[in-house]
Structure formats: C-alpha cells, structure tokens
Structure 1
C-alpha cells in the first residue's frame, strides 16, 4: 500500500526496513509497506493487513488506486495507492525473530519497519529499494490522469 499526500508537493510514506542487515543503510533501504500473500488469499486484504502490521494503523483512506504488479527480485509485488495522512513518527511495527549475531544461538526480536517518513519523490527515488521505484512513476502517471 503506497500512501501519498499533496502537502504542498507530492509525498509518499515509506518505511525503513528493520533488523541488523538494514540498520546502517539508508539509501535503497526503504520500502512500501508490504507483505507476502499465499494461494487463495486476497492481495488487497493482505495489503491492508500488512500496512496495519508494519505501521500500527489501518490505511487512512478508502479510495484505492491499483498500481499493478511488478517483479522485484524473486518476488512479485502488487501495490495500491491511497491518498491520506498518517503521523509517521507515531508508527509502531510488528516484529520478527532472528538469530543475531549469526550462529550465536541468541534469538532477538527486530521491528519489520524501524521508522517511517514522508518523502518527496526525488528523495523517495534514492531511499526506496530499486525494485520498487517504478511504482513511484506509476503513481505520478495515475495522478496526472
């Protein structure tokens, strides 16, 4: 789910990926809130669920615009855009377990998204993982009519 606002310029809400691999990375380490769905699951319902799990709030919009599918690495992403607002500083993500450091036998909890921010399109193109950047172009095209 790609949340956007026009305030006064177009901005998108992205999440910085959590966990030790991404901790010291910034450019190319941000993502659209997303998750995997299995056979028989409704992709839109999963997009709503994952947005709420990763940001701690339901999607603050009801009018959704499909941005289509895109292959990003080994995954196929299906994204919708929604115009709305959300306090990025108040987001709280769910967590995942990971043995860290590797082979230590110590399992730790890490947030899926460790912070969220509203970014203008130029900055978002730099911060977003490369495989998701085309969704920004699709959003701009949809908004241009």
Structure 2
C-alpha cells in the first residue's frame, strides 16, 4: 500500500502561496523541485483533513486556519506517495518557523545519531515561483487553487 500524506497550501492575496523546504542533510543543497506544501504522513484509519491540520502545525509551529478549507484533491508523487491537500487563506511569518525534528544516523554508518528539523525554511512566493520550487506532482495543488479562486 502506498504511503499517504496530507497537507495545507496556505495562501494570501496576490496570490502568494507558502512553500517549505525539507530539512536534513539530503536536501541541504537542493532547491528546484525539492520544496513542498507543509504536509506529513497519516495512518489509514486517520482523517486526512485532521492530519493535514496537525502536520501544518508540526512543520511550521503555527496552527493553520481550519475554517473554509478548499479541497484540492490528491496527487501521486514519483515515489508513489499519495498526497491529499486543502488550501486555507491566512498569514504566516516565515521568520517564526518552528519545525519539529527527526533523528537519523549521520553521517551514514557512523553510529552517531543527529536531529534535524523536518522543515528548515519557509517562503511566500507567487504561483510561478512555486511551480519551480515545488515537488513536480504538488504543482497541481497551486493550479487547482488558482482555478478555484478564479
């Protein structure tokens, strides 16, 4: 069974969308195509909408607005992961980013474990820039949001 993630595409007038850069050593030097919407995995018996709200808070340190969420559907990433997303209008101070952390053995085969933030940067950007930065499958969320906003 494919892994599933759920997330929130935060937007504000302009329009601009919020994208986040994954933390850790594997993504440190990656930019184009490496960014994501704030999202995370959830269990099969868990409500995806609730997971999206939780994951946004865990990855940014801020609760997203949970009223008037716009369904953006689902995409399948190249790695097979299915991502479901909603859009929410709101504000976020990128300088206030406070992500949770994960731990891995680093450097590989060193026996040492290090903690890294799940998200190390956040950026407000116009849709064109978001299309360049986002994981290619997630670009559909920006396009769907623009369609719904008219």
Give per-residue Cα distances to partners, 1:6-34, cap 9 Å, x unaligned. Answer: 1xx21001111101010011111210011
What TM-score do the two structures reach when normalised by structure 2?
Answer: 0.92
Shift of 1:63: 1.4
d(CA) in 1 for partners of 2:131, 2:44: 31
d(CA) in 1 for partners of 2:46, 2:132: 32
* 1:86-101 matches, cutoff 5 A: 86-101=92-107
CA RMSD of aligned residues (A): 0.9
Could you tell me whether the CA contact under 8 Å between 2:53 and 2:66 is conserved in 1? no
Could you tell me whether the CA contact under 8 Å between 1:60 and 1:86 is conserved in 2? no
* 2:62 is equivalent to residue 57 of structure 1: yes
Give per-residue Cα distances to partners, 1:22-53, cap 9 Å, x unaligned. Answer: 00111112100111111210000000000000
**Partner in structure 2 of residue 30 of structure 1:** 35
Gaps of 5+ in 1: none
Secondary structure at the aligned position of 1:31 is classed as coil
Of 109, 112, 133, 1:106 maps to 112
d(CA) in 2 for partners of 1:102, 1:94: 22
**Partner in structure 2 of residue 133 of structure 1:** 139
d(CA) in 1 for partners of 2:42, 2:66: 22
Could you tell me whether the CA contact under 8 Å between 1:96 and 1:110 is conserved in 2? yes
State the number of aligned residues: 142
d(CA) in 1 for partners of 2:141, 2:133: 13
Shift of 1:61: 5.0
The runs of 4+ residues in structure 1 deviating greater than 2 Å are none
Gaps of 5+ in 2: 1-7
